[in-house]
Structure 1
């Protein structure tokens, strides 16, 4: 994104600079053309006065704020008329423009006056009865050069604005870069802190079973013929299975099986999970109440989704101390398939409810604390959401929503 913005800024700056430079370069030809057009208009007016007044006296009254001075020159190189009357009849200063007299061509150039001013000198033929004179018209350029000065000012202002913009952009870039570095550093520190916390919890979870295994093994080692060894061996196996469960949960929490997702019938997956846990529920006098909407098709990994449902339903079974019921429903809610598991168990306290999805957080004496955290991770991998509502003494409802691949409802 930054590279795109940088490229866009450079491109925009280049276009603006090119436009301004082009405008400045075209300003001088425009000014010259304006001066030439003004000179032709004034020449026409002067010629008209000279034709109607062969004595040329009326030319002395011809005024214009753009004229510095003008003169009429004959073929001998003498001033027949000059706005400075003292120069009338004197030889011209400079070279006689013969091409103007011979061919009737016009010529113009910028000259430096003795006052230091840069003026526009225009030579054009004036045709009077019986002779041709040269009109040397010298004009002030400050009005025509307004175009040039405005173009120069525009270019300076634009360059200053671009420079200021780039300075601000670089300052903003530096600020955002430093802010990102600070956030990365903070995230790194938080990751280290979380890693330390997870490591401490994991060490605690592993240490307890290992201590039991070690103690029971030492007893068996000292008294190999003791009749209690059978019970100790059973406990060793139990603690080993507990460690194996913890490792399996950790591996499940770390992996992702997005590539092995298939189109599944949600109700069939839920029914399979219910069938697996039915014997355990019957032993505890827990009744399953199932209400399924058929043919809800989702895009899912069957093993991972079954793992979520097994964890949720097992938690519901474990929350019921005596006989009770668990209601499991599947339905369609807009673009999502919705599975709800509601139990009549002991519920979750308001203090524990916000933390139930945290890894290694558990209220069970022998739990790993990864069950609901793993469920949340798997559901979010499916693009869904898992929520829990609970009241102490009334029960808990877990809602799982997953995007629908295709839905056809049948009752």
Structure 2
């Protein structure tokens, strides 16, 4: 399902990119065409002004006057050879009549947009009429409409992707919770039965060693059941000494490893570091990371756990000297079902990520890994 969502999002992104490119090219084409037409209209307007200003008494200027009156869209500033403003057209009339700074600002703006259209007075060669012009509202709309359109498209795509991701995350949460509750329920009955059998064995003499080992296994099964039960509900966080908690899990793993693997724990001189966690779930994460590190070893080496209080956050680094993770696999390690082991479901790290990020509002990631040399996982917990 996730792969389908990724493909769908990729397709949506490609369509959006094509829309963006097509819109930009077409809008630029229209803008150039309108700008060319407006230049031609201003030239006609300037010629009409010349005709009116230089016309004799009996000259018909009706067409020229019509062309001058028809320009109601393109803003124009008429100046002399010294760029002193003579007249303005299609500007804000109130400002143009009362504010010299407004007229000069517009003149400067028009100079930066287009070269002026000018003609020399036939009766006086020193007198030059210049016509600076800006852009009509239509041209501005054509230029800026695509930006508005693209913002709307981007907003639509963002909302769509967010909705899909939220829906997927909600479905994933329901699946995890349902699976965890069902697993806890299925484990509950045989564990309760085993506890009853252990009590019966206690009544018989000569079974003390067997009973002791059975009790440890039953306690372990009860712990697993409790962990799954907490995955399917909202766990309660409490203040815990992480140094003590982690040392307890490291001792547990040390007993199950060969004597050639060392398990140093560094708390950088601090005997106690308090963090807010759910002890059973936090233990599960540490156990998963230690087990993975142990599986990556070839019977010898070291698994180093560093606990560092950084003030606002606590960093927990677990570093092994195992075979490392191939670079192309690093982005995949927390995905459900991903595993490089011959036997394994690929759920341990996925569960760990869920526990740390969703229940503890922290982070867990591969800090560093070098193929053939080892891996460091980092947990970041907020205080």
Bigger radius of gyration among the two? 1
TM-score (norm 2): 0.42
Structure that is richer in strand per residue: 1
